[in-house]
Amino acid sequence: MNMTLIAFPAALLYLFGGLSTGLRLFGQEGSWRPPRSLGIGLGFGGLLLHAVLLYYDLFTASGLNLSFFNAFSLAAWTVSGLLLVSALSKPVENLAILALPVAAITILLELRFPGSHLLGDQAGWALRVHVLTSLLAYSMLTLASAQAILLAVQDNHLRHHHPGGFVRALPPLQTMESLLFEMISLGFILLSVGLATGFLYLEDMFAQHLVHKTVLSIVAWIAFGVLLWGRFRFGWRGRTAIRWTLVGFAVLMLAYFGSKAVIELVLQR
């Protein structure tokens, strides 16, 4: 099958979904703005085609191909899927302005730079659980970081008494904060399960090729744990919550994609 015939329409649907969300957020008051359902619908169209592309790229006769750009694309697909499904019942569709264009870029990178990093059939169910929960944790905490960025912009506008513009299209600040901590709480639980299964079922989480990933993942887990404890104990919110979220996310992404990039793209192992 010609993957280009799937990849480009998927990327375009994602881009138009992000554009529709952007026009709704940044459109001038009184002018026509796309309905939220349009951006969500376009996003689901891209998500479906992206799933077909991932199926052909990930599942091979030799095992699961989790090369760098395939893993990057799979993470973007998971982020977009979680976002779009959540948007059916919660006001989180504004995150599509960041998530959907990134997903489109990962599709093009996956198409342009195919690679091979196989998780063979000999990998047991425990390792697969570890990979799945880790991926879901990364994806949920990615959404949390995007939510934190929007929250930071909204907080800055309100502090400087500029409530107009796209801030009008966002939910109230308290709702945005509640959504942020819901995402962080779920992501923290998934990350805890991912780390626990890694320690239980992998032979050596501190082996040379895993030590950086393991240490950085633990640091990120501690950062998110401290944030949730601070929220519960001291009522942390606003800029404090935003800083801790972005720091934890940066460390977590460095743990997985940073080490994976060095191993596969630089060292070519």
The tens digit of pLDDT for each residue in 136-186 reads 899 999 999 999 998 998 888 877 766 656 667 778 888 899 999 999 999
Q: Are residues 196 and 157 in the same domain?
A: yes
Indicate if 128 and 85 belong to the same structural domain. Answer: no
pLDDT in tens, 203-230: 655 554 567 788 889 999 999 999 999 9
pLDDT for position 180:
94
Same domain as 256, residue 145: yes
Q: With 60 as the cut, is the pLDDT of residue 189 above it?
A: yes
Last residue of a domain, one of 88, 122, 156: 122
Instruction: Mark whether 15 and 109 lie in a shared domain.
Output: yes
Contacts 24+ apart (CB under 8 A), 121-124: 121/63, 123/63, 123/64, 124/201
Q: Please determine, for residue 264, whether its predicted confidence score (pLDDT) is greater than 60.
A: no
Do 118 and 128 have their domain in common?
A: no
Per residue in 89-146, pLDDT (tens digit) is 988 888 999 899 999 999 999 888 876 665 655 556 667 777 888 888 999 999 999 9
Domain extent, residue 111, equals 1-122
38 and 157 fall within a common domain: no
How many other CB atoms sit within 10 Å of the CB of residue 212?
A: 16
* Domain end call among 57, 87, 122: 122
Per the structure, how many domains does the chain have? 2
pLDDT reported for residue 96: 92
C-alpha distance from residue 176 to each of 94, 152, 198 (Å) = 11, 10, 33
DSSP, residue by residue, 164-197? -GGGGGSPPHHHHHHHHHHHHHHHHHHHHHHHHH
Whether residues 140 and 166 fall in one domain: yes
Tell me, yes or no, whether 5 and 64 share the same domain. yes
Q: Quick one: 8 and 139 in the same domain?
A: no
**166 and 239 fall within a common domain:** yes
pLDDT in tens, 14-72: 999 999 998 888 776 667 788 989 999 999 999 999 999 999 988 877 777 777 788 88
Assess whether 9 and 36 both reside in one domain. yes
Boundary residue ending a domain (85, 105, 122): 122
